[in-house]
Structure formats: C-alpha cells, structure tokens
Amino acid sequence: MVEIDAASHNGVDDARDLRERAIFAPSRDRYKIFILDEAHMVTPQGFNALLKIVEEPPEHIKFIFATTEPDKVIGTIRSRTHHYPFRLVPPAELLEYLAQVLSSEGFEAAEGVMPLVVRASGGSVRDALSLLDQLIAGSDGKKIEYERSINLLGFTHDNLMSEVIDAFAELDAAKAFAAVDKVVQSGQDARRFLEDLLERIRDLMLVNSLGKDAQSILRGIGPEQFEQLEIQAARFGLSQLTASAEATAKALSDTSAASNPRLQLELLCARILAPVTTAKPEAAKPEEPAKPESAVTKPAPAKAEPKVPEIEPETKPEPPSAEEPKVERAKKPEPVAAPAEVTASFFRSNWQLILDNLATQSRSAWAVAFTSKVVDYDNEVLTLLFPSQNDVEAFKNSGGAAEVLRQVIRDMAQVTVKYRAKIAESERVPPTAPKIEPNDPDEFTDPEEHEEDPKTVQLPQTDSTETDATPTGEFMLREVLGAQKLKGEK
C-alpha cells in the first residue's frame, strides 16, 4: 500500500513515475494499492498521463482517489472509477464514540459539554477529536468544566441564552436589549450568537410539540437542562416559536453581509417583540366587552339576569391585578373543589380566574380569549360566547391558544374540554328586519302627501273623454309643425 500526497505530486512527471512503479507486481501480497490523497489537486495533464493505466490497470493494481471535491476531478477519470461518498457521522454515534475516547483517556466531562463538541465538529470525527483534545489541554484537572468549554468553543453561555428567551416570553424589551448589549460587550461573534439562538428555539419547538418524547431527539441534554427547556417551552405557543425562528434565520442570513452586527441583533429583538406591542392596546380593554355582552343577554330575561350577578363579583377584583400572591391563593382551593362535579356554573363563576391563569401562561392566548364568556358545559363540551365571528376565527387560528386554555382548565378543573363557539351578533340579526317599515303607507301623515292622493285619482278621469282625443291630437301636431287650417276645413 502506497499513499501519495497529490497536493505536492500533481504534475505529469509524478504521474509517469507512478505509472512506472505500478507495472511491477508485489512480491508478497496479492495487490499493490495506490492511495492518492487530495486527488482534486492533480492537474488535468497529470490525470491525462494516468488515464491509460487507470483505464486498463494490471490485475495486481488498485487505485484509490481520496478527495473532498470530486467535481474537480476530470470526467474521464470519474467515468472509469466507482464513487463511494463518505457521509458525516450522526450525532448519536459520534457522541457515544467521544464518550468512549474520553473515558479511555481518564477524563470526564461536565453535563452539556459533549453536545457542544459534537455540534462544533459538524459531524466530522477528525474535527471532534481535535476539539476534544483542545478541551483536555485547557482543563485544570481530570474534569472538563462547562464554563471553560463555552469560552474555548465560543458558544453562548446557557445563562445568557435563557435570559434572552425569558425576555421574549415576558415581552420585556428592556431585558432583551440589555442581553444584546452583553453579547456585544463580551466580544462574542454576533453570527455565532444567532446560531445558538436558532438552535435553542428549535429545541423549544421540539419540546413544545413532543413533550417528554423530545428527550430522545435532544441527546446529551441532562435532566436539569431538559426541565428548563420544558418550562421555557410552556411559555410560548408553537406559532410564536415558528415566527421567532423565521425572524432569527432571516437575521442570520443578513448578518453575514452587515457592517453593523449589533444593529441586526437589535432589529431581531424588535421583530420578535413587534406583534406583542401591537396587541398591548387590546389587552387594556378587558372590561369594555362586558358591557355590550350584558346588553346582549337582556333579550333573555329569565336566563341572562342570574348570569350578570355571578360575573360582577369577579370583575371587581380585576383592578388589583398587580397583586400576584392573591391570584395564587385563589388558585389553590378551587382545584380541590372542582373534581367533585364540574358544571356550567363552575365555569361561569371561575371563568375570570381561568383567564387570569391563562394570561400568566401565554399573553397571546389571553388576547384572543378574554372576550369570551361561558354559555354552557355538557358532556365535556364547553360552549363559549364570542362577540363576533372575527373573535372566533382569531381563537381558532391563533396557533396554540385553544390548547393553552385547555391545559389551564385541565390544571384547575381536572377535565379535558372540547370547544363549541357561539356568536353574540346572531341575536341582533332579527331587529334588522324592521328597517323596511318606512315603506308602510300608514306612516305618511303629512297633509301634503294626502293631498297628492286625490290628484292620482283624478288622472284616470281625463282618459274618460274619448270624444276629444282626435281634435286634441290634431291640435298638438299643428302646434309642433306650425301648420294652419285650410279655409275649407271646419
């Protein structure tokens, strides 16, 4: 077996020397194998010099052209060889291999270090071993610490990444821009930060969609880190995470050609927080829909009047919403009483508290559900009343609002509900019919209008004088043509 560096032996003379050496058969082995490393560096003239022996090699000769750029090898050589592409090693297999190498060397790694090495290597075993050797050389003892690995590999620290995610979940613009300032002041690469942020959003999407099953995909993550991902994923809806991922991917593509990376990071924060800032004015009007709804319930005097007194005592505690401990105290006794028998009256009396808990879980879900009212509950079907069809569509298409509300109800009432929507505007449709009433003749009471009626009756009387029809026609014709009667005519 002979290995030749094609990067330094790429000319015609080198090809001729190889051709002369290949003629002689091996004295001991069956085959003589020539491995040309970095074969794409061979010049076209050198490949043409090798073409004859590659096309008709002796029985004892085997050629192996190793290259990372097979498209640079001339077509005549590629058409006479077999192509075996080597693919990247999957992360799971590479993670197990690196753990074996590390244990054989007598070292151990802190939780979360090995996934960083696998991610930085990009699936290359050689790069992974080089990075692992770098971490071993930089460690003080026999254990590779997470803090030092983050600094050596250049990744974003988990605490800083959690701070950014929490700022997006809490809709805290000041906290988000402060985190961006920390990234810039620490000298970290903006592109690497965006890659880490996109990776974290992807993890949250998997946890949000798969729950506990996502742990089989997110290999190498410890129980504490996975629990933190579950807490963060519960604060977002799937549509919010998808929109954030798209905005981050766009910022990542724009950063490569940007002259001011900090500006791209701040624009990213503005894009993610922009939909929320537009929804804040709507959140300031939770009490206004209650007034028209009370008016809507007035047409049903027997059913609507008892509902209004039940809702009013709950709307009174709304102003001191800043006192969070009071809300938490109210949550504890109700789940205990709920499992006995969940009825429609339970939902009506506790609906405002359910909406308050929904606001703590997801502000976007609360923004599309706070206008709803409970109409009925039967056989695990919860009927909700919405002011308009647009509110129903917003609740259905909000991307996770219905599921978050269902989870809140499940935590409080220990039941899994299904939804049925009703629209309050449908009760106002019948009163629109009397708009045709102005056509009723009884409403015309002005004396002038009654005076016109006898005129319309007198018009047919002119038609009864049939004897004057012909003279009248002749008279009109003469007037139009300017004609005069002849002397002999009467």
Contact 63/54 with Cβ under 8 angstroms? yes
Task: Give SS3 for 342.
Answer: coil
Query: pLDDT by residue for the chain (490 residues), tens digit each?
Result: 888 888 888 888 888 888 888 888 888 888 888 888 888 888 888 888 888 888 888 888 888 989 888 888 888 888 888 888 888 888 888 888 988 998 888 888 888 888 888 888 888 888 889 988 888 888 888 888 888 888 888 888 888 888 888 888 888 888 888 888 888 888 878 888 888 899 889 989 999 888 888 888 887 677 788 888 888 888 888 888 888 889 889 888 887 776 787 888 888 888 888 754 444 444 444 444 444 443 334 444 444 343 433 434 444 444 444 344 443 433 443 443 444 678 888 888 888 888 888 888 888 888 888 888 888 888 888 888 888 888 888 888 776 788 888 888 888 888 888 888 888 754 444 444 444 445 444 444 444 444 444 444 444 444 444 444 444 556 665 665 666 666 555 5
**CB-based contacts of 383, cutoff 8 Å, min separation 6:** 374, 375, 376, 377, 420, 421, 422
Q: Where in the chain is the domain with CATH 3.40.50.300?
A: 2-78
Q: For residues 94 and 115, give the distance between their C-alpha atoms in angstroms, rounded to a whole number.
A: 10
Q: Where in the chain is the domain with CATH 1.20.272.10?
A: 158-283
2-78: CATH class: alpha beta
Q: For residues 167 and 126, give the distance between their C-alpha atoms in angstroms, rounded to a whole number.
A: 38
Q: Which CATH fold would you assign to the domain 91-153? A: Helicase, Ruva Protein; domain 3 (1.10.8)
**CB-based contacts of 241, cutoff 8 Å, min separation 6:** 201, 204, 205, 208, 233
Ramachandran category for residue 423: left, alpha or beta (phi over 0 → left; psi -120 to 50 → alpha): beta
Count of C-beta atoms within a 10 Å radius of residue 115: 18
Could you say which of 3.40.50.300, 3.40.1350.10, 3.30.300.180, 3.40.630.30 is the CATH number of the domain covering 290-428?
3.30.300.180
CATH 1.10.3720.10 is the classification of domain 158-283? no
**CB-based contacts of 81, cutoff 8 Å, min separation 6:** 54, 63, 65
Burial of 208 by CB count in 10 Å (0-12 exposed, 13-18 middle, 19+ buried)?
Answer: buried
Q: Where in the chain is the domain with CATH 3.30.300.180?
A: 290-428
Q: What is the DSSP letter of 80?
A: T
Tokens representing residue 344 in the block: 């429609």
Q: Residue type at 133?
A: D
Nearest of 242, 224, 189, 232 to residue 207 by alpha carbon? 232
Q: Where in the chain is the domain with CATH 1.10.8.60?
A: 91-153
